[in-house]
Chain A
């Protein structure tokens, strides 16, 4: 997230320093009053942030080096939790699922978002269309997941249509070997609106005469996209990629509720890392493994950090002035 903050941070220094200089020139008590206000204004928010996010993060790292059942004595085990989870097929599966969601789901989301963005450009009624497509973004993931599960269950909406269309044996979408694919599909469906909206805002800033020129030169849709739209919205695509990385790693409710009415955790082959971190602490039988949960969280955080920094490097290009 430093990513999005950077440009803002740079911009801010200028005006406040001119104000500071001006007030300092007056040498007023006002300036002193302002400086005295800084700490009481920032302290409460900063304290909450440190206590509830930064310190627990350090705590999680600490727990990840220990064997602990949540109560009783902790036992320092070094990196054993890490070697354990990487030998654990369930963790490997959840980690792999998370990567599939991140990469395949990410690619699909971006492809669809770009297609929608291009289609929506100067279309009549685009504002309304955008608002409707955006709506799933604000609906709780739990609701979307329950709905998605209902649409695709054995006697659900999709199969009723297929049967009416004459398909005798419609596929069992939620059979355990397909279930994770359906989850990815559902997340792609619900995320598209958000990314389409961001991309639309950036594409809108591209001067229309570039597109006019393309149509005069007889460029086809792919060429227009490849040579105008994509390069001119490249930095926004980079920000979107960072956002997608962070959001897809957080995926939890959508998988959780896909278990439907089975009354327990979903089958392990649909787990993502977030679910692994949760389930290690609330196992249906056995001792809670706080260390394994913490270790998996640390692994994911490290992955996110590497990806975000890497994406920033990869997406950095000379800005195209327009």
Chain B
């Protein structure tokens, strides 16, 4: 393809002053834009529809799914909250997710810093070794983990799940933060070192605060990931009192076969999971998008 693009370059430079209409004419205006906006509207519509359905009763969800809610059925939320055990699940999920994100950053940031700045010859290989872990799916490791962790009493135990989440976060966290630390300028660290600051001081007081934006992005991504994590939770938690939000949703879905289809309660439960994400996304969309696509887009 080089053959095509190289001759284009010099020629187009000379033509640059000529204004070319980039909007592409009728096709773009009449066909392309409507398609894109249709996709956008469908996605946004689904979210709005969930919120509406969460305050309707099941009969009107099924019979007139497109109608606006005629009255506010907040009892859906009350039902999900109490009989669906979403109260305990929300609490568990919040604690677990916050704890995991904090522990992940506290362990991965020093490691990533050491691999980018302190390391000798072996550290590039070690960084790549961490990155390989990104390709390991949960179902390829859960059996030995279950066996060993049940011997240690870490199964059906939120602390065990927290440990597991933190450990399995390491590959992405280290991979993400090494890329980030590498992009930071070194001059400040060197200046501090010349002023006699110890390496540990340089890391905690200078590099860590400098890397704030990357660390915050990592925290957000980590929270998002574990807010919806289902596989490990399903395997490692059996107690209803210990379940996380995805488990509560899954159990609610399963109990519907005995107690009748309570779609209203289901959508209230879904809203409990999704609304915090919508709120976070409204404020942090750019950071989330950039963070998740980092490494691929370069």
Residues of A within 8 A of B (CB): 1-2, 4-13, 15-16, 19, 22-23, 28, 30, 33-35, 37-38, 40-42, 44-46, 48-49, 51-57, 59-60, 62-63, 70, 116, 119-120, 122-123, 128-143, 146-147, 150, 155-157, 160, 193-194, 197-198, 201-202, 208-213, 215-216, 221, 227-228, 230-232, 236, 239-240, 243, 246, 249-250, 252-253, 256-257, 260-263, 273-274, 277-278, 281, 290, 293-294, 297-298, 300-301, 304-305, 308, 318, 320, 322
Contact, CB under 8 Å: A197 / B114: no
Contact, CB under 8 Å: A8 / B20: no
A142 contact set on B, CB distance < 8 A: 228, 230, 246, 249-250
Contact, CB under 8 Å: A51 / B167: yes
Nearest B-chain residue to A70, judged by Cβ: B147
B179 contacts A by Cβ under 8 Å: yes
Least Cβ–Cβ distance between B4 and chain A, in angstroms: 5
Main secondary structure on A side of the interface with B: helix
B37 contacts A by Cβ under 8 Å: yes
Contact, CB under 8 Å: A227 / B4: yes
Given contacts A48-B170, A133-B39, A253-B231, is CB(A210)–CB(B12) below 8 Å? yes
Contact, CB under 8 Å: B12 / A132: no
Residues of B within 8 A of A (CB): 1-2, 4-5, 8-9, 11-13, 15-16, 18, 20-24, 27-28, 32-33, 35-37, 39-40, 43-44, 46-47, 49-50, 62, 65-66, 107-108, 110-111, 113-120, 123-124, 126-128, 130-145, 147-148, 163-164, 166-168, 170-171, 173-175, 178-179, 182, 186, 190, 193, 198-200, 203, 224, 227-231, 234-235, 246, 249-250, 253-258, 261, 263, 266, 270, 273-274, 277, 281, 285-286, 288-289, 292-293, 295-298
Q: What is the CA–CA distance of A239 and B289 in the complex, to the nearest angstrom?
A: 17
- The listed residue (B5, B130, B186, B249) touching A231 by CB distance below 8 A is B5
Contact, CB under 8 Å: A41 / B40: no
Given contacts A143-B228, A146-B266, A197-B293, is CB(A45)–CB(B145) below 8 Å? no
Least Cβ–Cβ distance between B162 and chain A, in angstroms: 12
- The listed residue (B8, B33, B119, B131) touching A2 by CB distance below 8 A is B131
Given contacts A137-B292, A308-B135, is CB(A41)–CB(B110) below 8 Å? yes
**Could you list some 25 contacts between A and B, CB below 8 A?**
A1-B131, A6-B128, A8-B178, A13-B124, A33-B198, A34-B117, A52-B163, A116-B39, A123-B32, A129-B36, A132-B43, A134-B289, A142-B246, A142-B250, A209-B13, A210-B9, A211-B22, A212-B12, A212-B20, A215-B22, A236-B296, A253-B230, A257-B250, A263-B258, A274-B231
Given contacts A142-B230, A213-B15, is CB(A53)–CB(B167) below 8 Å? yes
Q: What is the CA–CA distance of A15 and B144 in the complex, to the nearest angstrom?
A: 41
Contact, CB under 8 Å: B257 / A262: yes
A30 contact set on B, CB distance < 8 A: 193, 198-199
Contact, CB under 8 Å: A8 / B295: yes
- The listed residue (A13, A119, A147, A320) touching B46 by CB distance below 8 A is A147
Q: What is the CA–CA distance of A198 and B293 in the complex, to the nearest angstrom?
A: 6
B43 contact set on A, CB distance < 8 A: 132-133, 135-136, 193
Given contacts A4-B134, A28-B193, A274-B139, 8 further A-B contacts (CB under 8 A): A19-B190, A42-B111, A140-B229, A157-B66, A210-B12, A212-B22, A274-B231, A298-B140
- The listed residue (B47, B120, B173, B289) touching A131 by CB distance below 8 A is B289
Contact, CB under 8 Å: B168 / A52: yes
Least Cβ–Cβ distance between A72 and chain B, in angstroms: 12
Least Cβ–Cβ distance between A69 and chain B, in angstroms: 12
Nearest B-chain residue to A223, judged by Cβ: B4
Contact, CB under 8 Å: B140 / A2: no
Contact, CB under 8 Å: A60 / B141: yes
- The listed residue (A52, A130, A232, A236) touching B5 by CB distance below 8 A is A232
Contact, CB under 8 Å: A278 / B186: no
Nearest A-chain residue to B2, judged by Cβ: A320
**Which 5 pairs from chain A and chain B are nearest by CB?**
A140-B228, A59-B144, A231-B1, A52-B167, A45-B111
Least Cβ–Cβ distance between B277 and chain A, in angstroms: 6
Given contacts A23-B193, A231-B5, A260-B253, is CB(A132)–CB(B44) below 8 Å? yes
- The listed residue (B136, B186, B296) touching A243 by CB distance below 8 A is B296
B143 contact set on A, CB distance < 8 A: 56, 59-60, 63, 281, 290, 293-294, 297
Least Cβ–Cβ distance between B297 and chain A, in angstroms: 4
